Structure 1
Amino acid sequence: MNMKINWDALGITASVACAIHCALLPLFLTSLPLFGVEIIDNFSFEIFMIIVAMAIGSYSFYHGFKKHHHSIVPFLLFLAGIGLLFAKQVWHEYQVWFLIPAVILIVVAHFTNYRSCRVHNHAHSDDCDH
């Protein structure tokens, strides 16, 4: 059984999970510090999540570029989104202003990469699932 991973779908999922973590988790879990759990505003955890998203996305965009569509546009959109995520860590007081466009850019980049793979490789599109 040959199991293929759709890296764009995984990237979109990671981006949405990051957005949920950053936007909704503080609303529901504001009492965690009382119990010694510091996942909210934990700099190391945030950087780790950005690096995971960057690793997944980089592989996905490299694969799409190399084997399918040869367009750098999805990767540039992705890099802009990742850049905004890092900016969110530097200018923490403006995190929502960086987070929303970052997630949008990353999701659009993955969607564009996925669609471009399908359009430019319709003859054997099952290979787009990487």
Structure 2
Amino acid sequence: MLDRIGITATSLCALHCILLPILLPALPLLGISYLADHTWEHVFLIVTAILGAIAMFSGFKRYHKKMYPFYLLVIGVAVYWVKHDFSESVQPLFIIIGATLIVAAHVINLKLCNSCKQCTDHQCAS
């Protein structure tokens, strides 16, 4: 469940970052100019990272004992976090790379958990 939430949250965050320059002029008219603030992005990214870490730790502890989904999550969050340190022309690349790594971490964790659940269910039935 947390992996699916993480995938959705990361995808929404990436869309927010990519579409923000296009929608920026309309935000004050809509009363949601706070969405353009870097603080909002960092808060959302921290929440995404916390949910992701809980999902990765849960999958690691209960099922698959593999750390690489967690490493992908950390690298993805770090890439996303430092995007503001670079020029605006390359920030979309950082967003895409960071979001892809975070989503990949969740997808891999989900697949590892499901494969271990199936193995456990199969072994219990035997």
TM-score class normalised by the smaller sequence = 0.7 to 0.9
User: 20, 23, 26: which is aligned to 2:18?
Assistant: 23
Q: Is the 8 A contact 1:61 1:113 kept in 2?
A: yes
Counterpart among 78, 81, 85 of residue 76 in structure 2: 81
Q: Contact 2:59–2:65 at 8 Å: present in 1 too?
A: yes
- How many residues get paired? 120
d(CA) in 2 for partners of 1:14, 1:35: 22
Cα displacement string for residues 45-69 of structure 1 (whole angstroms, at most 9, x for unaligned residues): 0110110110110000000001100
User: For 1:110, which of 102, 106, 112 is the aligned residue?
Assistant: 106
Gap runs ≥5 in structure 2 = none
Using the size of structure 1 for normalisation, the TM-score is 0.82
**% of aligned pairs identical?**
34
Cα deviation for residue 32 of structure 1 reads 1.9
Give unpaired runs (5+ residues) of structure 1: 1-5, 126-130
Q: Hey, which of these two has a bigger chunk of helix by percent?
A: 2
Q: State the Cα deviation string for residues 61-80 of structure 1 (Å, max 9, x = none).
A: 00000110000011111111
| 1:27-106 to 2 correspondences below 5 Å | 27-33=22-28, 37-91=32-86, 93=88, 94-106=90-102
Greater gyration radius: 2
**How far 1:90 sits from its partner (Å)?**
2.8
Stretch of structure 1 that moved more, 101-110 or 22-31: 22-31
**Over 3 Å off, 4+ runs:** 33-37
| Cα distance, 1:10 vs structure 2 | 0.4
Q: Which moved more, 1:20-29 or 1:77-86?
A: 20-29
